[in-house]
Structure 1
Amino acid sequence: MVTIRLARGGANKRPYYRIIVADRRRALNGNNIERIGFYNPLASAKEQKIHVDMARVEFWLSKGAKPTERVAQLLKQASAS
Protein backbone atom coordinates (compact mmCIF):
# COMPACT_ATOMS: atom_id res chain seq x y z
CA MET A 1 0.00 0.00 0.00
CA VAL A 2 1.21 3.49 -0.84
CA THR A 3 1.07 6.24 1.79
CA ILE A 4 1.64 9.99 1.83
CA ARG A 5 3.69 10.76 4.92
CA LEU A 6 6.35 12.94 6.50
CA ALA A 7 10.09 12.22 6.43
CA ARG A 8 12.13 14.16 8.99
CA GLY A 9 15.24 16.07 8.10
CA GLY A 10 17.11 19.03 9.54
CA ALA A 11 19.42 19.43 12.50
CA ASN A 12 18.90 18.74 16.18
CA LYS A 13 16.03 20.87 17.51
CA ARG A 14 15.50 22.34 13.99
CA PRO A 15 13.10 19.88 12.33
CA TYR A 16 12.27 20.06 8.65
CA TYR A 17 9.85 17.61 7.08
CA ARG A 18 9.48 16.44 3.49
CA ILE A 19 6.04 15.28 2.38
CA ILE A 20 6.69 12.10 0.44
CA VAL A 21 4.87 9.29 -1.29
CA ALA A 22 6.29 5.94 -0.19
CA ASP A 23 5.48 2.29 0.21
CA ARG A 24 4.11 1.69 3.69
CA ARG A 25 6.61 -1.12 4.29
CA ARG A 26 9.67 1.10 3.77
CA ALA A 27 11.61 2.83 6.54
CA LEU A 28 10.45 6.36 7.41
CA ASN A 29 13.53 7.99 5.92
CA GLY A 30 14.18 5.20 3.43
CA ASN A 31 13.58 5.01 -0.27
CA ASN A 32 10.55 7.01 -1.42
CA ILE A 33 8.58 7.16 -4.66
CA GLU A 34 8.19 10.92 -4.96
CA ARG A 35 8.68 14.11 -2.94
CA ILE A 36 5.56 16.26 -3.24
CA GLY A 37 6.20 19.07 -0.76
CA PHE A 38 7.69 20.20 2.52
CA TYR A 39 6.68 21.41 5.97
CA ASN A 40 8.88 23.70 8.06
CA PRO A 41 7.31 24.11 11.53
CA LEU A 42 9.95 26.65 12.64
CA ALA A 43 9.73 28.92 9.60
CA SER A 44 10.31 32.61 10.19
CA ALA A 45 8.03 35.29 8.80
CA LYS A 46 10.08 35.48 5.58
CA GLU A 47 10.15 31.74 4.96
CA GLN A 48 7.42 29.55 3.58
CA LYS A 49 5.97 27.22 6.23
CA ILE A 50 4.29 24.65 3.99
CA HIS A 51 4.37 23.91 0.29
CA VAL A 52 2.50 21.05 -1.41
CA ASP A 53 2.12 20.20 -5.09
CA MET A 54 -1.65 19.67 -4.96
CA ALA A 55 -1.81 18.28 -8.51
CA ARG A 56 0.51 15.43 -7.51
CA VAL A 57 -1.44 14.87 -4.28
CA GLU A 58 -4.67 14.50 -6.26
CA PHE A 59 -2.90 12.09 -8.64
CA TRP A 60 -1.67 9.85 -5.82
CA LEU A 61 -4.99 9.96 -3.98
CA SER A 62 -6.71 8.84 -7.19
CA LYS A 63 -4.27 5.91 -7.36
CA GLY A 64 -5.28 4.82 -3.84
CA ALA A 65 -2.58 6.41 -1.67
CA LYS A 66 -3.62 7.08 1.93
CA PRO A 67 -2.29 10.13 3.80
CA THR A 68 -1.33 9.85 7.45
CA GLU A 69 -3.37 11.83 9.99
CA ARG A 70 -0.80 14.62 10.25
CA VAL A 71 -0.38 14.89 6.48
CA ALA A 72 -4.16 15.08 6.07
CA GLN A 73 -4.19 18.08 8.44
CA LEU A 74 -1.33 19.71 6.53
CA LEU A 75 -3.12 19.18 3.21
CA LYS A 76 -6.17 20.97 4.60
CA GLN A 77 -3.96 23.89 5.68
CA ALA A 78 -2.22 24.03 2.30
CA SER A 79 -5.48 23.99 0.33
CA ALA A 80 -7.00 26.70 2.54
CA SER A 81 -4.13 29.14 1.96
Structure 2
Amino acid sequence: MSQEEKRLKLEYKADWYGRTVSAISQWFPSSKMYSNCGEMYSGKWSLAIRTWSCECGITHDRDQNAATNIHTESLRLLVT
Protein backbone atom coordinates (compact mmCIF):
# COMPACT_ATOMS: atom_id res chain seq x y z
CA MET A 1 0.00 0.00 0.00
CA SER A 2 1.43 3.40 -0.98
CA GLN A 3 1.82 6.34 1.38
CA GLU A 4 -0.99 8.13 -0.46
CA GLU A 5 -3.32 5.15 -0.05
CA LYS A 6 -2.48 4.94 3.66
CA ARG A 7 -3.16 8.65 4.11
CA LEU A 8 -6.50 8.41 2.28
CA LYS A 9 -7.53 5.39 4.39
CA LEU A 10 -6.58 7.22 7.57
CA GLU A 11 -8.54 10.31 6.50
CA TYR A 12 -11.56 8.15 5.63
CA LYS A 13 -11.50 6.44 9.04
CA ALA A 14 -11.01 9.77 10.82
CA ASP A 15 -13.99 11.23 8.97
CA TRP A 16 -16.06 8.14 9.80
CA TYR A 17 -15.41 8.68 13.52
CA GLY A 18 -15.73 12.47 13.40
CA ARG A 19 -11.99 13.09 13.80
CA THR A 20 -9.51 15.23 11.92
CA VAL A 21 -6.15 14.24 10.46
CA SER A 22 -3.35 16.78 10.43
CA ALA A 23 -0.10 15.92 8.64
CA ILE A 24 3.11 17.73 9.47
CA SER A 25 6.22 17.87 7.32
CA GLN A 26 8.64 14.97 7.63
CA TRP A 27 11.34 17.63 8.05
CA PHE A 28 9.70 19.27 11.07
CA PRO A 29 12.40 19.32 13.80
CA SER A 30 10.32 17.57 16.46
CA SER A 31 13.32 16.15 18.33
CA LYS A 32 15.53 19.21 18.11
CA MET A 33 12.98 21.73 19.39
CA TYR A 34 12.58 22.06 23.13
CA SER A 35 8.86 21.72 23.80
CA ASN A 36 8.89 23.95 26.88
CA CYS A 37 10.69 27.07 25.61
CA GLY A 38 10.77 26.59 21.81
CA GLU A 39 14.56 26.86 21.53
CA MET A 40 16.27 24.77 18.85
CA TYR A 41 19.24 22.46 19.38
CA SER A 42 21.70 23.19 16.59
CA GLY A 43 24.11 20.26 17.04
CA LYS A 44 23.96 16.61 16.04
CA TRP A 45 21.85 14.23 18.14
CA SER A 46 23.12 10.76 18.91
CA LEU A 47 20.37 8.16 19.23
CA ALA A 48 21.98 7.21 22.53
CA ILE A 49 20.86 10.55 24.03
CA ARG A 50 17.44 9.82 25.57
CA THR A 51 17.12 12.69 28.09
CA TRP A 52 18.69 16.12 28.48
CA SER A 53 18.23 19.31 30.46
CA CYS A 54 17.32 22.51 28.65
CA GLU A 55 18.77 25.91 29.58
CA CYS A 56 15.33 26.83 30.92
CA GLY A 57 15.77 24.13 33.59
CA ILE A 58 13.39 21.46 32.26
CA THR A 59 14.56 17.87 31.80
CA HIS A 60 13.23 16.41 28.55
CA ASP A 61 12.67 12.82 27.48
CA ARG A 62 13.52 12.62 23.77
CA ASP A 63 10.40 10.72 22.68
CA GLN A 64 7.98 12.63 24.91
CA ASN A 65 9.47 15.94 23.74
CA ALA A 66 9.08 14.96 20.08
CA ALA A 67 5.49 13.77 20.66
CA THR A 68 4.61 17.06 22.38
CA ASN A 69 6.12 19.05 19.50
CA ILE A 70 4.28 17.00 16.87
CA HIS A 71 0.98 17.45 18.71
CA THR A 72 1.52 21.21 19.08
CA GLU A 73 2.47 21.60 15.40
CA SER A 74 -0.52 19.58 14.20
CA LEU A 75 -2.87 21.77 16.26
CA ARG A 76 -1.18 24.90 14.86
CA LEU A 77 -1.74 23.62 11.30
CA LEU A 78 -5.41 22.94 11.98
CA VAL A 79 -5.98 26.54 13.12
CA THR A 80 -4.25 28.16 10.13
> Normalising to structure 2: TM-score of the pair?
0.25
More strand by share: 1
